[in-house]
Amino acid sequence: MARPDVPTCQLDEPIGQVRERVRAAGWDACVVVNDQRVVLGLLRAGELERGQHEPVAQVMRPGPSTFRPHVPIEELAHHMIHHDLPTSPVTTSDGRLVGLLRREDAARVALEQTRGRHADHEAAG
């Protein structure tokens, strides 16, 4: 569900270079990681527009909300919608990036699963 192909960057990279790389990849977000791929921050569309030569560390959102892969998709979707999060990193228990979850993907899958359970319940009843 989380997209593993999300662009990543490091704290000392110039924001202008990161912005170009992210756009070329067709994304509007970048996950800031260290050498072990531990999530340190997040750049969403607004942060990607800030500056040119400033390091990522100066413009990123530090310590973004993250989720673990085992969390039910309905819970993820609800949290992302309730807190107006367009994206959220999914990480292992030690903070390593698994991928980036987009709110629309979480909501779509949660709705599909809910409809599937409803249809199963009607068929059984």
pLDDT (0 to 100) of residue 69: 93
The answer to whether residues 35 and 123 touch, using CB atoms and an 8 Å cutoff, is no
Which domains can be identified in the chain, with CATH numbers?
8-124 (3.10.580.10)
Per-residue pLDDT tens for 11-61?
999 999 999 999 999 999 999 999 999 999 999 999 999 989 999 999 999
Cα separation, 70 vs 105, in Å, equals: 16
In this prediction the pTM is: 0.84
- The backbone torsions φ and ψ at residue 78, rounded to the nearest 5 degrees and listed phi first, read -60, -45
pLDDT in tens, 47-58: 999 989 999 999
Q: In which residue are the tokens 């629309």 written?
A: 104
For residue range 56-109, list pLDDT tens digits in order. 999 999 988 899 999 999 999 999 999 999 989 999 999 999 999 999 999 998
The alpha carbon dihedral of 120, 118, 88, 27 has a sign of positive
